[in-house]
Structure 1
């Protein structure tokens, strides 16, 4: 019979199913609202990732900052993490991934560099509670996000159908007003364009 192993980590919450299949899956919840809420961003380096469901993390809040105050050259501002905050909540998305992508995911979240640590947290979805893996920033020094970074997070919330009032809260987050270029946005746009092309191709096949 299949067995279940529940794990969690700093920026992602996930459930690992150890089964007899050749490629066991990892269930991953993007609850800290990092960029992985936008599926094109997560699938750039983790192609097996698929949306599983929407979930809520109680008694935590979304914050922005940098590990040890080291500003992100990639995003030119604070990046997202969660921290304990009784009475607050964070909404996010549970993903399903192949275990073969776990190493890539940890690398993407700078776990080996000590920027984030895996943590086990309980999330709730449709009356069911799951213990999941999420990533939480170490030595976080608060800093506002760039407008571009926040835009990606808001797009992910819209794409995955998070509660409307929570989407409004995300849009109201203050940014650092950075207006310079961000190469990562071009990378993301290319990924989104490929996704649109795949969708159009499948649609033409139907007809």
Structure 2
């Protein structure tokens, strides 16, 4: 059960913010509450970011697919910092309220972010095209976060099969050390 708390919001993270060290850079109040599943969405990558030296993650509405992620409680005062990190002002991502199913079957409302430009849906057995692949550094961050949060093993195995572009971001590696 996820108790409510005054002056906070629930945030569903599915990308780099799975990792505690990453989310705390801009959102020091973030408290990990557990994991959840976003139904009828697919994890994908589309827009290249210099920070990561590859494409960043997004969620694409696709019936029958799901994305696992972390549920964080964040103080309302840190919402502008999270919006800045996600590039809301530059229209990189837009905030979206979604219903996430917790491990114990509760349905909770969370804020998450979806890129403003999304790729077309793809089949589960279809690789992400080379020009949309995340960097090695970004995928490493996602995988470390997925393990740290305790996402299901089969989902982590699925994440491990996502091809990367072979690039490393020295800037982000230093930030996350």
Question: Normalising by the residue count of structure 2, what TM-score does the alignment of the two structures yield?
Answer: 0.87
Q: Which residue is 1:175 aligned to?
A: 164
Query: Structure 1's 150 and 181: CA in aligned 2 closer, same or farther, altered over 3 A?
Result: closer
Moved over 2 A (4+): none
Q: 2:151 corresponds to which residue?
A: 162
1:27 aligned to 1, 6, 10, which one?
A: 10
Give the SS at the match of 1:121.
Answer: strand
Pick the aligned partner of 1:108 from 85, 105, 130: 85
Taking the aligned partners of 1:77 and 1:42, their CA distance within structure 2 comes to: 19
Residues 1:128 and 2:106 are matched in the alignment = yes
Task: Give deviations 1:22-73, integer Å, cap 9, x for gaps.
Answer: xx1121111xx2210001000011111110111001111100110xxxx311
- Which residue pairs with 1:38 in the alignment? 19
List alignment gaps of at least 5 residues for structure 2.
120-130
Query: Aligned ranges for residues 75-154 of structure 1 at < 5 Å?
Result: 75-125=52-102, 126-140=104-118, 143-154=132-143
> Structure 1 residues 145, 46: closer, same or farther in 2, change over 3 A?
same
RMSD, matched Cα: 1.7
Q: CA offset at residue 93 of structure 1?
A: 0.6
2:128 aligns with none
* Structure with bigger gyration radius: 1
Q: Are the counterparts in 1 of residues 51 and 169 from structure 2 also a CA contact under 8 Å?
A: no
**Separation in 1, partners of 2:118, 2:4:** 28
State the Cα distance separating 1:182 from its structure 2 match. 2.0
For 2:91 and 2:85, the matched residues in 1 are separated by 12
In structure 1, runs of 5+ residues without a counterpart are: 1-14, 190-207
Q: Does 1:60 align with 2:37?
A: no
2-structure distance, mates of 1:172, 1:120: 28
How many pairs does the alignment contain? 163
